[in-house]
Amino acid sequence: MRAFEGLRFRKVSSPIHRLDPRAKFIGSFIVFSVAVLFTELMPLIALFLLQVPIILAAKVVKQWLESLRGALFLSGMIFVMNLFVGYALLYSAAMSFRFLTLVASFSWFFLTTSPDDLGLALERSRVPYELCFAFTTAVRFVPVLADEAQTIIDAQRSRGLELDRGDILKRIRNYIPILIPLIVNAIRRSLELAEAMESRAFGSEAERTSLHVLEMRTFDYVFIILAVVLLFVALYVRFFIPFQWII
Amino acid sequence: MIEVDKVSYAYSSGTVALKEVSLKIQRGEFVAIMGENGAGKTTLIKHLNGLFKPTKGSVTIDDVDTRERSVAELSRKVGLVFQNPDHQLFSETVEEEIAFGLVNFGYDPETVKRRTVWALNLLDLKRYRDSSPFMLSGGERKRVALASVLAWNPEYIVLDEPTIGQDQMQKDRLRELIIQLNTQGRTVIIVSHDIEFVADCAPRVVLMSQGGIIADGPASTILTDYGKVLAASLVRPQITQLFQSLSDLGLSGNIIDLYEAERLLVELIKGDKL
Ligand SMILES: Nc1ncnc2c1ncn2[C@@H]1O[C@H](COP(=O)(O)OP(=O)(O)O)[C@@H](O)[C@H]1O
Ligand SMILES: [Mg+2]
């Protein structure tokens, strides 16, 4: 549950939060793609450091570090696995660092983009409204479900359930008293939500209007241009600079 | 004895839910913890069976620090019933639901059977024995949750908001049950917003506000104190309000009991006639 904290949107007033979600998506996606282009440590470290100013400007350093800490275990696994199957030390380090860079780009995108903005952006990209709505609702309910799961665990432990007792099969079975109430409540809640939405005329008109309308501003274009420049620089380095010059 | 000593608790989000709370509850007492939404009542009672360990301070149950025991060990002594039954019901039948705790604690099949039947009867659930708990009404689900904890007969019984979703008849029955358990020597702690219900039970009242205890004493003193009750975002019981606004007639200001109110009024009216 802790790892999710590092992806959970919180309302903060910062230039990055105010960026258009589409601009942020392009930025985050380009970082992602560039990370996939390289298997060398140096460019990956540079890419990682390039994101630090964004995090600082967005004032989400703490949550971002939290998400990285969550990823550290998997990153360590990747390192060990690569070494284990016989790759070089430097390559293994690069692979595990690549994973961290990917998580970092994901993390700042989700930390600074509200589910509502994300939904709006999807809508503007002509994704059917029902799908956008399903998506934003799902994202919004993740923290609610996480809290509820914790309360259910507390309630069952109060009735003597010990999750980490018994052999592996017993341990899996121990989760049944947690999962059933969680699923039943989620279904119940979704049915109630559907009724409440229909009572407020959800889906009655084919054309919807929006309370907030997305508009690209100068800063959004600047951000996109910087990201595209990064992409071209990365492509240039990748394909026109000899391999041995990059470590 | 339950001893909460200068307990502070902060959630990982940073919210400080308890600030240096100290509270002693003797065996056999009946205590109601009251206070506004978010006062920290649920956070406090989750400390009593070790679900939460204090960030600062300590909680001891019969001289054992909760840090030194598992939740399962402590729960055997301190039965905690959560506010929302839907956070725990999962079994196919009401009977299995009630037996869940007994099985976890490793009672022999004979005892499990006997105690389950006892709890079914205690909460008037016998006819639902083979029903699915999900098919019951809100009030009934709440009673199943209560039965599933009372089943192992814990010495300390802690109930979070037991009256929510219950109609007046069920509340009356619940009150009788709580008082019956208390007279049989169980320590009962309830968390409640329901001032009329608490006034009817007349327990010791602990008022909480913003993570601290702001008043502690007998119901007739605390619930009739305008300022203290207001500080916990509550209103005095209706009968108290009536008697206090009629204080010019020489009526006592700390009445919470209907029968006593009736006696005093009859006395007053008869006195006037003479
Ligand atoms: N899981 C949680 N994470 C973060 N904060 C919480 C959590 N649960 C409760 N709180 C906060 O702690 C405070 C006390 O909550 P709680 O003990 O539930 O109050 P009460 O039961 O008196 O209504 C509130 O401010 C609440 O928002
Ligand atoms: Mg509560």
Instruction: Give the pLDDT of chain A (247 residues) as one tens digit per residue.
Output: 555 666 678 888 899 999 999 999 999 999 999 999 988 888 899 999 999 999 999 998 888 888 888 888 889 999 999 998 888 888 899 999 999 999 999 889 989 998 888 888 888 888 888 888 888 888 888 888 989 999 999 999 999 999 988 888 888 899 999 999 999 999 999 999 999 999 998 888 878 888 888 888 999 999 999 999 999 999 998 888 876 666 6
Residue B184 to residues A169, B61, B155, B265, Cα–Cα distance (Å): 41, 20, 10, 34
Q: Do residues B46 and B122 both lie within one domain?
A: yes
Structural Rg of chain B based on CA atoms = 20
Residue nearest to atom 2 of ligand 1 (CA): B11
Helical (H) or strand (E) element with A61? helix A61-84
CA A160 – CA A145 distance, rounded (Å): 23
Confidence of residue B19 (pLDDT cuts 50, 70, 90): very high
Q: Do residues B215 and B268 both lie within one domain?
A: no
> Of A140, B2, B228, nearest to B240 (Cα)?
B228
User: Lowest-pLDDT range, A85-89, A232-236, B190-194, B195-199?
Assistant: A85-89
Q: Give the one of B70, B84, B101 whose C-beta lies nearest to A159's C-beta.
A: B101
CA B109 – CA B113 distance, rounded (Å): 6
pLDDT of B189 reads: 98
pLDDT of B18 reads: 97
CB contact under 8 A, A159 and B100: yes
| Backbone phi, psi, residue B3, to 5° | -125, 110
Q: Do residues B154 and B254 both lie within one domain?
A: no
Q: How does the average pLDDT of chain B come out, rounded? A: 94
Q: In chain B, what percentage of residues exceed pLDDT 70?
A: 99
Q: Do residues B86 and B126 both lie within one domain?
A: yes
> Of B31, B7, B43, B51, nearest to B156 (Cα)?
B31
Ligand 1 environment, Cβ below 6 A: A 147; B 11, 13, 15, 17, 35, 37-43
Q: Is residue B194 part of a domain?
A: yes
Q: How many structural domains compose chain B?
A: 2
Q: Do residues B254 and B184 both lie within one domain?
A: no
What is the Cα A169 distance to its own chain's centre? 32
pLDDT surpassing 80 at residue B75? yes
Helix (H, G, I), strand (E, B) or coil at B251: coil
pTM for this model (two decimals): 0.81
Tokens standing for A169? Answer: 């099969």
CATH of the domain at B115: 3.40.50.300
Taking residue A158's Cβ as centre, other Cβ atoms within 10 Å add up to 26
pLDDT surpassing 90 at residue B81? yes
Could you tell me where the beta strands, DSSP code E, fall in B127-246? Answer: 156-160, 187-191, 204-209, 212-218
pLDDT of B273 reads: 58
Q: Pairing state of beta strands B204-209 and B187-191?
A: unpaired
Confidence of residue B35 (pLDDT cuts 50, 70, 90): very high
What is the DSSP code (8-state) at residue B165? T
Nearest listed ligand to the Cα of residue B208 = 1
pLDDT of A143 reads: 82
Domain that holds residue B42: 2-225
pLDDT of B248 reads: 86
Q: Do residues B10 and B139 both lie within one domain?
A: yes
Taking residue A198's Cβ as centre, other Cβ atoms within 10 Å add up to 11
Q: Do residues B156 and B73 both lie within one domain?
A: yes
CA B127 – CA B193 distance, rounded (Å): 31
- B216 CA from centroid of ligand 1 (Å): 21
Could you tell me where the beta strands, DSSP code E, fall in chain A? Answer: none
Contact of B62 with B28, CB cutoff 8 Å: no
pLDDT of A244 reads: 65
Q: Give the one of A158, A160, A177 whose C-beta lies nearest to B90's C-beta.
A: A177
Q: Pairing state of beta strands B204-209 and B212-218?
A: antiparallel
Residue B126 to residues A156, B94, B130, B144, B261, Cα–Cα distance (Å): 23, 9, 9, 11, 38
